[in-house]
Amino acid sequence: MNSSEEIAVSGMSAGRSAMRMGPAELVQAAAMARRFYLEGKSKIQIAEEFGVSRFKVARVLETALERDLVRIEIRVPAELDAERSDALRARYGLRHAVVVESPAEAEETPDPENLGEVAADLLGELVNEGDVLGLAWGRSTIHMAAALDRLPPCTVVQLTGVYDAGTAERGSVEAVRRAAQVSGGDAHPIYAPMLLPDAATAAALRHQTGIARAFEYFDKVTVACVSIGSWEPGISTVHDMLSDEERAHYASLGVAAEMSAHLFDAEGRRVGRDLGERCITVKADQLRRIPEVVAIAGGQRKGPAIDAVLRSGLVTSLVTDTSAADYLMTAGPTPEPALHRADPDGV
């Protein structure tokens, strides 16, 4: 309710339909409701003012609700779907789930840009002073960082290499710099590709000074922001970086989703763990120990991939859109709560 006038008007309207309340009762009930709902006074304070018991005040307030004297409206911004958000949180046992309306003109587009804007606001709530914020590669995290306008002082570390080292300025390196600039904290970017030709090259890069310094922060991350990719062209950067033969190999293992270069089948089990040896990325076990892991992913085409990653237990919170949420609400059997975060089996 936005003003005391709303209670008074509602009260008079209710008075015409609720004939059992006389004008004196209506006036008193409206006054008590105004004190309680708009002025924040306690029932004891109201009882003292009107010379009645607090039990009388409680009954009057209850009657005011029952007879429509007072109308309580729960309002969220139009782009947020509160009902889907709560249902999705409950289904997957998430700490937070925020569902955004899918753009009408781009329902099939994965990760609409408005997801990043909402995720930026969510991080503003979740990150506390002194936290270590980890950002993984992904279009959605890049959009999120660009939309950031508030963060408490914190350290920001990059959790993965980049899709292409040549695009670092426009990618996750810039996202880390942007978040650190907003927070006023230190930035620890990683100037290296996510996927290397072989395990030996990846191991050598991990020992380079700048990359090793970033890796030292992985066990200190308190809030992480990640993206989710479907195992298909254009929607998974890892898929796009592999050869046709490699894609066929991992497809034979049943891969359905990718997150930070970790692969998952439809049940949320990790598969193709050998790929991680060639990647510059945070380990799955390290992700599991991070108190808050926020995934940003949406679009109907990503529905199965989001479901798979949520079933892994590595994600605690999700920012998605209505088209993906509608798929997730009916996707297979009800999963184990994500906050149990059990280690999924895999190969």
Residue scoring higher pLDDT (64 or 290): 290
- What was the pLDDT predicted at 1? 39
127 pLDDT exceeds 60?
A: yes
Q: Which residues pair with 295 in a beta bridge?
A: 226, 318
Mean pLDDT confidence for 200-216: 94
160 pLDDT exceeds 90?
A: yes
pLDDT category, 243, cuts 50, 70, 90? Answer: confident
Computed over every residue of the chain, the mean pLDDT equals 84
Q: Nearest-CA neighbor of 153 among 129, 182, 177, 136?
A: 129
Report whether 287 contacts 305 (CB < 8 A): no
**Strand residue runs (E) in 104-173:** 132-135, 155-158
* Cα–Cα distance for residue pair 295/313, rounded to 1 Å: 12
pLDDT digits (tens, 9 = 90+) for 3-35: 333 443 343 344 334 446 666 778 888 889 889
- What was the pLDDT predicted at 182? 95
- What was the pLDDT predicted at 74? 61
CA atoms within 13 A on the CB side of 11: 23
42 pLDDT exceeds 60?
A: yes
The sign one gets for the Cα dihedral 322, 324, 325, 329 is: positive
* Cα–Cα distance for residue pair 317/294, rounded to 1 Å: 5
Q: Which residues pair with 160 in a beta bridge?
A: 281
Global pTM value: 0.75
Nearby residues of 100 by Cβ (< 8 Å), 6 or more positions away = 79, 80, 81, 112, 114, 115, 118, 298, 319, 320, 321, 322
Q: Which residues pair with 304 in a beta bridge?
A: none
pLDDT digits (tens, 9 = 90+) for 145-156: 999 999 999 999
